[in-house]
Amino acid sequence: MYLFLSMLAGADIVLSTCTVPQDLAIFWFHAQEISLDRCIAQLFFIHCTYISESGILLVMAFDRYIAICYPLRYTTILTHVLIGKIGLTIFLRSYCTVFPMIFLLKRLTFCKTNILQHTGCEHMGLAKYSCDDIRINIWYGFFVLMSTVILDVILICVSYMLILHAVFHIPNQQARHKALNTCGSHVCVIILFYGPGIFSALTHRFGHLISPHINVLLASVCILIPPMLNPIIYGIKTKQIRDQITYVLLSKTI
């Protein structure tokens, strides 16, 4: 579990590093210009990290399923070698699916407005300013979304259905409560990660009914809130992390 938490923390750090400096430069120093190459580089890292974090949340759901349904075989199933392979697969999946976007964007000619609506760059948000045919970009973006994030959400739901089925067959109520409590942090992180993204997608679909400022705010929330709150959630819910934080803080005050 702690290896997966380390992966999640690493993804949060990369996602924050890709976006927060740019946001602060815009609001503090009014640095409102960005080159096309920098914009493409930023969206590459944002999309890569977002897909990686989605994959990590899926693997953590699998981790909870093994811990609850096969507790005696947990360490024999999730070995360090398997976890390393899983981490490599998550990275390669995100890299291989996002990398073609660079060439799909570089082939376009941008002749419309050069004012981006959001503080960060994203694939379709940039492609729509092109005067060329962007149907390939639209369909490829849809393919990436369906084969990564949407697939992850479906598999996470399946894993939790299996977890709930196993938990409610536990005769001891205290053991049942303890099993459900181990999933609390993960469920909170899932809601924080996917919730704003789904709501943002709905606002884009019905954008004529909502102020553009709300769309910009939601897009920023999708990227900034999960990295900020994930450590707090796991720090509060995980006893070992909570004890270590308390030990570090008390040792500094003594």
pLDDT digits 0-9 by tens, 194-246: 887 777 666 665 555 667 777 777 777 778 888 888 888 887 777 777 788 88
Residues 59-107: pLDDT tens digits?
999 999 998 888 888 889 999 999 999 999 999 999 999 999 999 999 9
pTM summary value:
0.89
Q: Where do the domains of the chain lie?
A: 1-229
Q: 36-69 and 80-106 helices cross at what angle (nearest 10)?
A: 150
Give the residue among 220, 229, 244 at the shortest CA–CA distance from 185. Answer: 229
Token pair belonging to 107: 């082939």
Q: What is the pLDDT, as a whole number, of residue 115?
A: 79
Q: Does domain 1-229 have CATH number 1.10.10.10?
A: no
Window from 16-20, 55-59, 86-90 with minimum mean pLDDT: 16-20
Structure token pair of residue 210: 């909502």
